[in-house]
């Protein structure tokens, strides 16, 4: 396991090899929850990489998360982080197989969907914990299986948006 604002957090199973899983955090930043989540994936046999989308910034309140999100251009900056992270993961020597899974939480869920559309040849599975749309929702080229987890009521995800997804 390593952590670095430039690289993110990498968790490798005890066997030293496994299928790859990209973990895209929520607007809170790459905090202990997402690091622990990556470690749990490694304990079950996955090589998990959680890129740091916020260069080390961690929000502790909704207000902090909203403030941080307003200070940068997500649509410009995140692709330049997650596309190289995806390439680094697929080429990591610990990876078995030629396709990856991606798990996204809220904002990371949006980007997980985007990634499945942008790089359909590499994404085998997409698991969402909230997060919809994903840059327009054109999944015709996607080859992934999808699993979404949503709350009955959520101020950030409408029932209509979930149904449309």
pLDDT in tens, 104-121: 998 899 899 999 989 999
Q: Compute the distance between CA of residue 94 and CA of residue 46 in angstroms, rounded to an integer.
A: 9
Superfamily (CATH H level) for 2-164: Alpha/Beta hydrolase fold, catalytic domain (3.40.50.1820)
Find the mean pLDDT for residues 15-24.
97
Amino acid 1: pLDDT: 47
Contacts of 23 (CB under 8 A, 6+ apart): 9, 34, 37, 38, 41, 48, 49, 50, 102, 103, 108
Map out the domains of the chain as residue ranges. Answer: 2-164
pTM above 0.85, yes or no: yes
Q: Is 151 exposed, middle or buried (0-12, 13-18, 19+ CB in 10 A)?
A: exposed
Whether 11 shows a pLDDT value over 80: the answer reads: yes
Amino acid 162: pLDDT: 64
């Amino acid at each position: 396991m390593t952590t670095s604002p430039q690289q993110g957090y990498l968790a490798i199973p005890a066997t030293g090899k496994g299928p790859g899983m990209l973990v895209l955090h929520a607007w809170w930043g790459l905090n202990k929850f997402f690091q622990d989540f990556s470690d749990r994936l490694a304990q079950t046999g996955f090589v998990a990489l959680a890129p740091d989308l916020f260069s080390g910034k961690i929000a502790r309140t909704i207000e902090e998360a909203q403030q941080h999100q307003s200070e940068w251009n997500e649509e410009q900056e995140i692709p330049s982080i997650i596309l190289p992270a995806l390439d680094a993961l697929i080429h990591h020597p610990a990876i078995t197989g030629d396709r990856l899974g991606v798990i996204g939480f809220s904002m990371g869920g949006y980007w997980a969907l985007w990634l499945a559309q942008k790089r359909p040849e590499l994404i085998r599975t997409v698991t969402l914990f909230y997060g919809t749309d994903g840059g327009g929702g054109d999944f015709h080229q996607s080859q992934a299986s999808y699993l979404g987890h949503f709350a009955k009521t959520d101020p950030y995800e409408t029932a209509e948006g979930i149904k449309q997804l």
